Amino acid sequence: METMSDKLARFAAGLSYEDIPGQVIEKAKRHLLDALGIGLAATREPYADAVTKTARDWGGTPQASVWRYGDKLPVAHTAMVNGSYVHGLDFDDTHTDSITHMSACVVPTALAAGEAVGASGRDILAAMVAGYEVIARIGGAVPGKFHAEGYHATPICGAFGAAAIMGCLMNHSPEAIANAFGVCGSQAAGIQEFLDDGSWVKRFHPGWASHAGVTAAQMAGHGFMGPRKVLEGRFGLYATHLSDPTYDAEILAGGLGERWETLRISFKPYPCCHFNHAVMDAAKNLVHEAGISIDEIDEIETITPEPILHIVCEPIEHKRIPNTQYAALFSLPFCLAVNVVKGRATLDDFDEEHLGDAEVLELAGKVRCSGMDSDRFPKYLHGGVKMTLKDGRVLERDEPVNWGNPENPMEWADVETKFRGNARRVLPESKVDSAVEAVLGFEAAPDAGALMSACRAA
């Protein structure tokens, strides 16, 4: 009897560029550009330096390029480093139904594996789509359940996507990819304890998931066997990780090649937790439209889906005064205050040196957070605010679909603008231009060489 991982493996192994609708390919290219820009910007961060140095210490066969620097490491190590870059600023995309940041696993793995084997742009894009579809379905079949248990869904599901990508680009059989999935089940990991102290480990999660997936695929390619019921089995992923292990079989393995979850991925306009974005927009837009000053505000109540409160609102005393840059990204009061006070929320606004901004902290101290039942979450990361002014007026605004969602999309021009702002932090303008052109025409590229050259600073 065909298992769930068998079905996903058969889909991934058989997927070709010609099978994929043009709009899906175009969407994948947007995510490719977005992830590259974020990853390049992140190379300046101390956490990124630590990950890069660790991988260099390991050494090994030079196969794939580390972004910005251009030195080559083994595929698994390179995917780990670049994957950690992409996720570390919390600026990367989200598949909301599964609550996973897929491109942080997909793009670094596809480019590293593709460069190593000399794959064409078309084949790399097809492998990316296979990875997106696998991750989306494994997480989407149990929406929100991993987070409710304290797990981070991105690395848990992302390892399987990385294995699918590596398997595709190594021309593995469906059986080999299914075995790789079986190996991933014993490597997939990631907990959310970082939320209590703002430490760095979440930034590393997709990188290690990429490393795990690549390793699993390489082992399976040499005949290593993994459990075929790794997802739905008695001791499978869902049974061991979830209090309620029931899953939606149709979402997990139905409509493969017909329903494209790649089209459901949302971009991030702000470099912070996606759960904050709708409320950030609601508050800023309300202040602008009402023509009020910040001094007139007495209290702001945020209203969001109940499940996100423990991530971005609790404990409230810590969220109002985050103690690290990374803690600030997961603070709804702080992110809201930044967007209202500054009228924007950029990478610079979340630098460590700005955490003590008196005006931002004063407004963050006026924020209290309420939850609501929502049958639209996690498909829509919606939210709203109720603002009480010192003169007694109460103003309200709701953002039902946050900007960046496929139903309120960031188009190519928006993503290119974001990429350019990120990439030019470490690349000269000529290289930024070359990278944009390389992604625009990536389906015609004979290999990843021109794109990797454009992403090398020197």
- C-alpha 405 chain-centroid distance: 13
**For residue 246, which of 261, 256, 236 has the smallest C-alpha distance?**
236
- pLDDT band of 155, cuts 50, 70, 90: very high
- C-alpha 220 chain-centroid distance: 26
Structure tokens at 386: 């109720």
**For residue 49, which of 17, 84, 13 has the smallest C-alpha distance?**
84
Domain spans of the chain, in order of start = 4-269+411-454, 274-399
Return the CA Rg of the chain.
Answer: 21
pLDDT 10s digits, 96-153: 999 999 999 999 999 999 999 999 999 999 999 999 999 999 999 999 999 999 999 9
**Bridge partners for 397 per DSSP:** 385
pLDDT reported for residue 268: 97
Q: What is the mean pLDDT of the chain?
A: 97
Asked whether this chain's domains 4-269+411-454 and 274-399 adopt the same fold, the reply is no
The span from the CA of 426 to the CA of 112, in Å, is: 20
Query: Given 1.10.760.10, 3.40.640.10, 1.10.600.10, 1.10.4100.10, which CATH number is that of 4-269+411-454?
Result: 1.10.4100.10
Give the start-end residues of each E strand in 296-356: 297-305
- pLDDT band of 229, cuts 50, 70, 90: very high
Its pTM stands at 0.95
Mean pLDDT of 383-404: 96
343, exposed or middle or buried, with CB in 10 Å at 0-12, 13-18, 19+?
exposed
pLDDT 10s digits, 62-81: 999 999 999 999 999 999 99
Give the strand pairing for 265-266 and 297-305: unpaired
pLDDT reported for residue 38: 99
Mean pLDDT of 189-216: 97
Positive or negative, the Cα torsion across 257, 79, 31, 439?
negative
Q: Which residues contact 227 (CB under 8 A, 6 or more apart)?
A: 182, 185, 233, 236
Residue 353 and residue 268 in contact, taking contact as beta carbons nearer than 8 Å: no
425, exposed or middle or buried, with CB in 10 Å at 0-12, 13-18, 19+?
middle
Whether residue 458 has pLDDT greater than 90: no
The span from the CA of 458 to the CA of 109, in Å, is: 23
Q: Report the CATH superfamily, name and number, of domain 274-399.
A: 2-methylcitrate dehydratase PrpD (3.30.1330.120)
337, exposed or middle or buried, with CB in 10 Å at 0-12, 13-18, 19+?
buried
**Bridge partners for 72 per DSSP:** 65
Mean pLDDT of 229-235: 98
pLDDT 10s digits, 276-300: 999 999 999 999 999 999 999 999 9
The span from the CA of 431 to the CA of 196, in Å, is: 39
DSSP state, residue 263: G
